[in-house]
Structure 1
Amino acid sequence: MPYVEASVRRRQLVAAARTALSRDGVPGTSLRAVAAEAGVSLGTMQYVFPSKELLLRAVIEDVVSEIAEVLRDSADLGKGLEHAVRQALVGFWTRLVVGRADLQVMQYELTTYALRAAGQEGLARWQYERYCGVVAEWCQQAAQGAGETCAVPFGRLARVIVASLDGLILQYACDPNDTRAREDLEAVIEMIVSLAGVRRSA
């Protein structure tokens, strides 16, 4: 087997894990199954990811990076927080929700798996800390870049955004009604903008 740089191998295994997890679910995905999906030996798999928990953390981090990229690409942060929220939440929905049921169901399964598996509760907590962390940082960058203040702490604003989107995504996964979902998303955006109470810094 030809040598593959460690960072490249890691990305290959995370991509294979996302495919296997989306297809077979979290409980049904083992390190052996991911190794087979990636076309590598179990020994190679275990060298990079000695445990399933470490692999799941890497998958969550990969999803968080994808979310952060979509947020960055969807709005000009120099135009302020309200602009960023309006543009990026629609961009997020279009790129990561519509037609991406496999991604969304996988994320819910990661959470419920961690909450049910003895000793893995911390993984679920860390998952949502990462989601909220990247959103809070993005909100803060948008506000500060435009010389604005926010009426609530950025951490709280991020938690409300994540919680609101979670609810809409779960409903959409159960009943993918595009018209209703878009109307509800617009309502959520208005609530978030109102909560943020954006003002120009003195």
Structure 2
Amino acid sequence: MAHVEASVRRPQLVAAARSVLARDGVAKTSLRAVAAEAGVPLGTMQYVFPSKELLLRAVIEDVVGEIAQVIKASAETGGGLEHAIRQGLTAFWAKLVSGHQGLQLMQYELTIYSLRTAGHESLARWQYERYASIIAEWCQEAAHNAGETCAVPFGRLARVMLAGCDGLILQHVCDPNESRSREDLDSLIQMLTSLAGVRPAAAAAEA
């Protein structure tokens, strides 16, 4: 087999690990299983990722990066905060939740794994800080572009949005009822826009 640099092999192995994790779960994922999925010798796998813990850390970082990118790319920030919330969450659900139960289940498993594995607890915290930071940024940008104010700090709005989405996603994974989940998502969006209490900046200054 021709030599392939570790920097090139790494994303291939992470992709293979994601396939195994989505199919078999964290407990049944081993370096040997991932090597077989990627079609490489176990020695190659162990050279790039000497332990399962290092592999799972790379997978968590990869999943977080993908989801963060979709969240950031999905939000339209030119139509005001309420539009950004509605459009962003609707697009996120369509792209990464509906029909993607394996991805969402894998994400939950990896979060729990991080919290239960000594020395990896910070990964779970980083994961949610990353999501919340991106959500807060596009909410703030949308409000700023439209000359609006938000009734609560953008960081709090982002954390509540994230918590609400997590709950709906978990219910959807347990019972993937598309029509019910979309109705529930609409209700969450209404709650979030009410919490945001969007007002024109000029009106807020006069009040």
TM bin, normalised by shorter chain, reads 0.7 to 0.9
- 59 and 136 in structure 1: CA distance in 2 versus 1, 3 angstrom threshold: farther
Counterpart position of 2:107: 107
The reply to whether residue 13 of structure 1 matches residue 3 of structure 2 is: no
How far does residue 15 in structure 1 lie from its aligned partner after superposition? Answer: 0.9
Counterpart position of 2:59: 59
User: Bigger shift: 152-161 or 37-46?
Assistant: 37-46
Counterpart position of 2:195: 195
How far does residue 129 in structure 1 lie from its aligned partner after superposition? Answer: 2.1
Q: Which runs of 5+ in 1 are unaligned?
A: none
How far does residue 3 in structure 1 lie from its aligned partner after superposition? Answer: 4.2
* CA distance in structure 1 between the partners assigned to 2:50 and 2:198 by the alignment: 46
From the CA coordinates, give the structure whose radius of gyration is larger. Answer: 2
Matches within 5 A, 1:9-158: 9-158=9-158
Q: Aligned to 1:78, what secondary structure does the other structure show?
A: coil
* 1:124-147 Cα distance to aligned partner (Å, 9 max, x none): 222222222232233233333334
How far does residue 120 in structure 1 lie from its aligned partner after superposition? Answer: 3.2
Instruction: Kindly report structure 1 stretches of 4+ aligned residues shifted beyond 4 Å.
Output: none
What amino acid is the match of 2:136? A
- 193 and 177 in structure 1: CA distance in 2 versus 1, 3 angstrom threshold: same
What amino acid is the match of 2:48? V
Q: TM-score, normalised by structure 2?
A: 0.85
* CA distance in structure 1 between the partners assigned to 2:5 and 2:83 by the alignment: 41
Q: TM-score, normalised by structure 1?
A: 0.87
Q: Which runs of 5+ in 2 are unaligned?
A: 203-207
Q: Aligned to 1:155, what secondary structure does the other structure show?
A: helix
* CA distance in structure 2 between the partners assigned to 1:130 and 1:47 by the alignment: 29
Q: Percent identity?
A: 72
* CA distance in structure 1 between the partners assigned to 2:47 and 2:145 by the alignment: 43
* CA distance in structure 2 between the partners assigned to 1:185 and 1:67 by the alignment: 18
- 180 and 48 in structure 1: CA distance in 2 versus 1, 3 angstrom threshold: same
